[in-house]
Structure 1
Amino acid sequence: MQIGSLGIKIGMTQIFDVEKNVAIPVTLIKVGPSIVTHIKTKEKDGYDAIQLGFGFIVNNGESTYTKTNKPEKGHLQRSNVSSCSYLCEYKVPNLEQYSIGQIIDVNIFENGQFVDVIGKTIGKGFCGTVKRYNFGRGPMSHGSKNHRAPGSIGAGSTPGRVYPGKRMAGRKGGIQATIKNLQIIKIHSEESIVAVHGAIPGKSGNIVNLIPSFRNKRTS
């Protein structure tokens, strides 16, 4: 499995393909740079993986970061980093090509590659059953009091309770979601921006995780 990277969703736009005469909807993602903060081995940890830090500040001997506690500072000390916003692990088959403090940038991806994008969906807050589950509404006239009410939620004496998992009003969105097999249309190496085909979870400014898709093996 190839290593992935964390990034920030910038927003959506479109790229025009002159040859095919079509407009391709794309999402712009600012990828990396990330730094290798830890290397896990099968002998010590049970599996081979590397840990990447995103949103890091290099330690210059004077700067301090109040939100980083002492255990975190000790963990990041080996990679010469004073603070880090996010940490993420990636399982890799070969650890020899990675070292502590190595910088991982957007160049690990290439044009035409397929990736899976993991992010948190936009939160909708507390919603009723009509918006949350697309329930139908009741009559809107003739004195009806049941417009958007959920209706009955169970039987009477038997079973005498509401079954778990009943679809009712509640919190909508704000959960982790994965969009698979999105193709990289264009890479802007100078600004570390990747344009992937289609939409990804979350709003602009959200942190997202790009992982190479298994579709690359099937197409290669």
Structure 2
Amino acid sequence: MSGIIGKKIGMTSVYSADGLSVPCTVVEAGPCVVTQVKTVETDGYEAVQLAFGDKKEKNTPKPMIGHFKKAGTTAKRKLAEFKEFTTTLNLGDTVTITDIFKEGDFLDAIGTSKGKGFQGVVKRHGFSGVGGQTHGQHNRARHPGSVGASSFPSRVFPGTRMAGRTGGNRVTVQNLKVVKIIPEQNLILVSGSVPGAINSLVILQK
């Protein structure tokens, strides 16, 4: 499916036609450079590889420097493949936000969620905790409670929800509506939240 790479700027709100305030995420999407065109004959499948965001050449591996120079562009931060482009793209072409989306479209946003570190079950899974402070409870308000049986099966089942590392995962939020596009600044406003922190890279795809 077609799409574009961008950087999450932050959030704002715009008013709809009926006067409602719509919370939106602002994404600087593109311009992206076509760094590779994959075909069935050479790669076994058809896809277009896009690159976004400038990067210092000294921090780029030499094979990747040659890869970017072949496309006639400088070193880039992020690469992503898209398999269904309606238009024919060639090596070195530039893809902008208006080439992919228009206002009123729906898209999927892919990004890396904020890392929360090691968290307990209340924050990680939404547990309510053990309960009140009466009936012998002491400092267990946010504890998980019992996690397994005694003599049988004498173990804790795999997959039991417990405390652990939270966040930092690849997350896809589906069916976000394109509220507004500002082509002069390569900005796109989508309704709702997009995964990731401010200035993190995201992928917007149809």
CA-CA distance at 1:94 after TM superposition: 5.9
Give the gaps of 5 or more residues in structure 2. Answer: none
Q: Check whether the contact 1:56–1:84 (CA below 8 A) recurs between aligned residues.
A: yes
Q: Distance in 1 between matches of 2:3 and 2:162?
A: 38
The 5 A counterparts of 1:70-219 are 70-92=62-84, 97-108=88-99, 109-138=101-130, 139-141=132-134, 143-145=136-138, 146-212=140-206
Specify the SS of the correspondent of 1:44: helix
Q: How many aligned positions are there?
A: 203
Q: Distance in 2 between matches of 1:209 and 1:46?
A: 24
> So what's the TM-score if we normalise by structure 1?
0.85
Determine what percentage of the aligned residue pairs are the same residue.
40
State the partner residue of 1:28. 26
CA-CA distance at 1:136 after TM superposition: 2.3
CA-CA distance at 1:50 after TM superposition: 0.7
Give the gaps of 5 or more residues in structure 1. Answer: 58-63, 213-220
Q: Check whether the contact 2:57–2:65 (CA below 8 A) recurs between aligned residues.
A: no
Q: Which runs of 4+ in 1 moved over 6 A?
A: none
State the partner residue of 1:215. none
The 5 A counterparts of 1:53-72 are 53-56=51-54, 65-72=57-64
Taking only aligned residues, the RMSD between alpha carbons, in angstroms, comes to 1.8
In the alignment, structure 1 residue 4 sits paired with structure 2 residue 28: no
Deviations 1:124-157 (A, max 9, x none): 2211112211222233245422332222221223
State the partner residue of 2:39. 41
Specify the SS of the correspondent of 1:14: strand
Deviations 1:14-56 (A, max 9, x none): 1113x41211211111001110001100112111101011113
CA-CA distance at 1:82 after TM superposition: 3.6
